[in-house]
Amino acid sequence: MKIRPLYDRIVVKRVEEEETTRNGIVIPDSAREKPQQGEVMAVGKGKRLDDGEVVALDVKAGDRILFGKYSGNEITLEGTDYIIMREDDVLGVLDAAPEALAKAS
């Protein structure tokens, strides 16, 4: 099943990272806060202005973003958790450092 967000909404999948203390103790899921970053899976066509014009979104599928703690609505599709939020809830886009991009290629 695929989901297509409408207008200025985006579908985000949280990035789950295992959290470990300095001593190597792994913190269980129940004791951790949910991460506030994720990967954009799908984007809507854009924000509709008062005059009816549609303006394209700044984020695109594949971007890694930061968002607020209580942003969006959580949904589950085929066993995978997603968040549907407005582009306004995005705090920033994480860019990979040029050194990291050079090592990856």
Record the pTM.
0.71
What top-level class would CATH report for the domain 9-104?
mainly beta
Q: Of the candidates 73, 75, 40, 81, which has an alpha carbon nearest to the alpha carbon of residue 58? A: 40
Q: How far apart are CA 35 and CA 54, in angstroms?
A: 31
DSSP 30: G
- At 14 the pLDDT is 86
Which secondary structure element, helix H or strand E, spans residue 94, and what is its range? strand 90-94
pLDDT recorded at residue 30? 56
Walk along the chain (105 residues) in steps of 10 and give the mean pLDDT of each run: 85 75 63 74 90 89 89 88 91 70 49
What is the DSSP track for 49-85? PTTS-EE--S--TT-EEEE-TT-SEEEEETTEEEEEE
pLDDT at 86: 92
pLDDT of residue 10: 93
